[in-house]
Structure 1
Amino acid sequence: MPERPYVYYDFTISLCSTCLRRVDAKIVFEDDKVYMHKNCRFHGFEKVLIATDIEYYKNCRNYAKRSEMPLKFNTATHYGCPYDCGLCRDHEQHSCLTVIEVTDRCNLACPTCYAMSSPHYGRHRTLGEIEQMLDVIVANEGEPDVVQISGGEPTVHPQFFEILDIAKRKPIKHLMVNTNGIRIAKDEAFVARLATYAPDFEIYLQFDSFKKEALEQLRGEDLREVRSKAIENLNKYNLSTTLVVTLQKGLNTDEIGKIIEYGLQQRCVRGVTLQPTQQAGRLENFNPATDRYTMTEVRTAILEQTDIFTAADLLPVPCNPDALVMGYALKLGDCVFPLTRMIDPNDLLDNSRNTIVYEQDELLKSHLLHMFSTGNSVDVAKEHLKSIMCCLPDIDAPGLSYDNLFRVIIMNFIDAQNFDVRAIKKSCVHIVNKDMNIIPFETMNLFYRDDKAAYLETLRNEIPVM
């Protein structure tokens, strides 16, 4: 009998990338890759590459864990995912990280910007609006794990420090500021004041490339000197920093290892987050046929471009294994010890076995024994490490602090091309919108920004109410 050129693996619900209507989708294995096949009655057939590593893709399913719900839900379920975001009762994960966009405006007009920000776009939120946003998060989460102050560019808000003061009064475990680093580079006094908000405070610093042409294509300007000076100032105050890399295939994907190595050399850097470009918002220099970059391609590049991590070190994050990969290491002097490999994957799923003692490496033990003599509180060390190590077991590592942690995260923000409703229901990175609803990051950029609201209603009107 004739055979199809692929192996049928699974079924899901996706979107037509043209009209954003829900469509049935097959997951198939073909030519050692994972593809999504979908067909829209208006726009025809689509074939989308979603993974380049079949075994890793299949293994992600083994990391699923019981869903952690918010304390409350915010919207009813009328139309079905993804048309009811708010969070609705059908969502399967609370907010591990919640973003508050305090302004639409930015001191750049990047060719790549999911929020369409620019110096004259939109407006600044009022302090009253921002506090209400924070209160919505607290009502849902009790003690939110991570809240990120974002924009636009949040540092251009005229009441920026008042915003941080309000956020610090809330029961938030870890506060971040998402920034392009321009003000941090130009104003050391600004950085000194930021440092007063530590601990449990972090800079989420845009850091896409060391190459002039890549920065100009992604950001519209050569920001190499800005990045260098920002890191210099952040190092001076040892202000915890994550380097955030927007990846575009063939543009800066050859620099993944170099950026990780650079981050390890910086006193202030606690990790690198790698984000393949989401096809949303303003996207001027992007060809979806050639420039898309899958999560598994990022993972392979890390393994090929560094000698720090092995495949066993880069694991799916159980709260959303289809969209998140984590690799953790300890920085001890000039030594870097991968941490994730020391975790039994079952410990990620079994709360009855949730303590790790580091006995696997003699050199690591010697460093830990030396650090025990510092007198740091065991509880404080555990609190600082656990607060940012989403979904990992508790750490029995006295003498360590957040300064010793280095993490590499791959954050795959799903778009209309690779939309998979299974992953969207598990999304744990959320945004509070102007209507005070909590929206998954992915669907926010597809449906819930101001310029998309009318079309969302058009789609809803086509659906019988559930």
Structure 2
Amino acid sequence: MPNRPYTYYDFTVSICSTCLRKVEAKIIFENNCVYMVKTCMKHGREKVLISTDIDYYKLCREFIKPSEMPHRWNTQVQYGCPYDCGLCPDHEQHSCLTLLEITEKCNLQCPICFAESSPNKGGFRSLEQIRLMLESIIANEKEPDIIQISGGEPTIHPQFFEILDMVKKSPVRHIMLNTNGLKIATDRDFVKRLAKYKPGFEIYLQFDSFEKEALEELRGVDLQDIRQKAIDHLNEFNISTTLVVVLKKGLNDHEVGKIIQYGLKQSCVRGVTFQPVQEAGRLERFNPEADRLTLSEVRQMIIDQSGVFGEKDMVPVPCHPDALAMGYAFKKDGVVTPLTGMIDKNILLEGSRNTIVFEQDEDIRKQIFKLFSLNHSPQSSALSLKDLLCCLPKVNLPGTISYANVFRVIIMQFQDAHNFDVRSVKKSCVHIAHPDGRIIPFDTYNLFYRNDKEQQLLKIREEIEVI
């Protein structure tokens, strides 16, 4: 009997990248890669590269922990995922991180911007609107792990510090400020004032490249000097910072290792987050087939280029393993020691475990165990290793060890209409607060719920009702 040229692995539900209607999809293995194959009765067949590493893809299916639910639901199940976001009771993960967008305006007009922000777009949300959004996050989470103040460019909001005060007084554990760094680079007094919000405060700094051509293509302007001045100010006031890198295939992906090494040398930098470009918002120069990077490709670049993280050090994040990968290291006195590969994966998957299985040098094992013991009492202010090895920056550490000794690398791959997988999006843990109070996964927000895009969603819902 003739054989197909691929191995059928799984079945899921996706959407047509043209009309956004739900379609059936197969997951297949072919030529050592993972593909999604789907067919829309109106727009035809699509074949989308999902992963370049079959073994890692399979690991993601196993590396998953029980779902953690929000304290309330915001919408009902009526039309099916992804058309009921809000969150609906069919969603499988609470908000590990929730974006609080306070403006659509920006002081840049980046050729790549998921929010399509610009100096001429939108306005500033009022304190009343922002309070409603914040209260909705708190009602869902009680004590939110991370709220990321975002935009547009949030630092240009005329009531920025009033908003920051409002969030700081809330029960949120950690605040991130998502920024392009222009204000931080040009206003030292502004940065000095930001430092007063420590601890539990972090800068999420756009940092895509060291090269003029790449910055101009991604951001529309050469920001090399701005980024360095921003880092200088953040180092001066020792404000915890994550460098955020939007990666586009063939443009800046050769800089992965260089950016990690740069971050390791900055006293303020706690890690780097890599975000492969998705087809959302404003994309002036983007070809989904030629410019897209998969999570597995970025993971391999980190392994090949960083000089720090090996194969065992970059593992899936258990709450959403399809979309998130992480690697943690401990840095002190110029020495960087990767940690993730030393840990039995069950430590990450089973909250009840209190032992560690290490796989490396005995002296390092003793050192790391001493620094990050799992046996502290509940009254202790020390951070457990189990808490450390997550995508969330929990900051209390024992003795002379501090958050400054932690360096993490995260890959955060968002879904768009091409690689959309309902099975995976149900586990999304990065969400956005809608102005009306709904809490919506980042992936579906940009596809269906941002601004006027909800009009198209209404048409899809009407068709479902007719059926």
TM range (shorter): over 0.9
2:52 matched to 1:52? yes
- Provide the residue aligned with 1:464 in structure 2: 465
Q: Secondary structure at the match of 1:230?
A: helix
Change (3 A) 1:370 1:40: closer
Q: Give me the whole-angstrom Cα distance separating, in 2, the residues matched to 1:409 and 1:185.
A: 25
Q: Give me the whole-angstrom Cα distance separating, in 2, the residues matched to 1:110 and 1:385.
A: 38
Q: Give me the whole-angstrom Cα distance separating, in 1, the residues matched to 2:158 and 2:40.
A: 46
C-alpha displacement of 1:64:
1.4
Change (3 A) 1:254 1:335: same
C-alpha displacement of 1:391:
7.7
- Provide the residue aligned with 1:424 in structure 2: 425
- Provide the residue aligned with 1:415 in structure 2: 416
Answer whether contact 1:386 1:395 (CA < 8 A) is retained: no
Change (3 A) 1:383 1:192: farther
Q: Secondary structure at the match of 1:11?
A: strand
- Provide the residue aligned with 1:380 in structure 2: 381
Alignment: residue pair count = 462
Answer whether contact 2:381 2:396 (CA < 8 A) is retained: no
- Provide the residue aligned with 2:327 in structure 1: 327
- Provide the residue aligned with 2:168 in structure 1: 168
Q: Secondary structure at the match of 2:227?
A: helix
Q: Secondary structure at the match of 1:454?
A: helix
- Provide the residue aligned with 2:183 in structure 1: 183
Q: Give me the whole-angstrom Cα distance separating, in 2, the residues matched to 1:354 and 1:225.
A: 47
> Which runs of 5 or more residues in structure 2 are unaligned?
none
C-alpha displacement of 1:396:
8.7
Q: Which amino acid aligns with 1:225?
A: D
Q: Give me the whole-angstrom Cα distance separating, in 1, the residues matched to 2:380 and 2:164.
A: 26
Q: Secondary structure at the match of 2:380?
A: helix
What whole-Å deviation, never above 9, does each CA across 1:35-79 have from its counterpart, x for those lacking one? 000000110000000100000001111111110000000000100
Q: Give me the whole-angstrom Cα distance separating, in 2, the residues matched to 1:256 and 1:197.
A: 30
Q: Give me the whole-angstrom Cα distance separating, in 1, the residues matched to 2:286 and 2:260.
A: 24
Change (3 A) 1:196 1:386: farther
Stretch of structure 1 that moved more, 42-51 or 303-312: 303-312
C-alpha displacement of 1:386:
3.4
Answer whether contact 2:51 2:294 (CA < 8 A) is retained: yes
Q: Which amino acid aligns with 2:453?
A: K
2:248 matched to 1:230? no
- Provide the residue aligned with 2:447 in structure 1: 446
- Provide the residue aligned with 2:297 in structure 1: 297
Q: Which amino acid aligns with 1:151?
A: G
Q: Secondary structure at the match of 2:203?
A: strand
Change (3 A) 1:192 1:456: same
C-alpha displacement of 1:356:
4.8
C-alpha displacement of 1:341:
1.2
What whole-Å deviation, never above 9, does each CA across 1:275-330 have from its counterpart, x for those lacking one? 00110000001111210100000000011112211111111011001000010111
> So what's the TM-score if we normalise by structure 1?
0.94
2:368 matched to 1:401? no
- Provide the residue aligned with 1:241 in structure 2: 241
Q: Give me the whole-angstrom Cα distance separating, in 2, the residues matched to 1:366 and 1:291.
A: 43
Q: Which amino acid aligns with 2:465?
A: P
> Which runs of 5 or more residues in structure 1 are unaligned?
none
What whole-Å deviation, never above 9, does each CA across 1:208-247 have from its counterpart, x for those lacking one? 0001000000000000000010000000011000000000
Q: Secondary structure at the match of 1:271?
A: strand
- Provide the residue aligned with 2:250 in structure 1: 250
Q: Secondary structure at the match of 2:183?
A: helix
- CA RMSD, Structure 1 to Structure 2 (Å): 2.4
C-alpha displacement of 1:384:
11
Q: Which amino acid aligns with 1:29?
A: F
- Provide the residue aligned with 1:42 in structure 2: 42
Identity %: 60
Q: Give me the whole-angstrom Cα distance separating, in 2, the residues matched to 1:51 and 1:102.
A: 35
- Provide the residue aligned with 2:83 in structure 1: 83
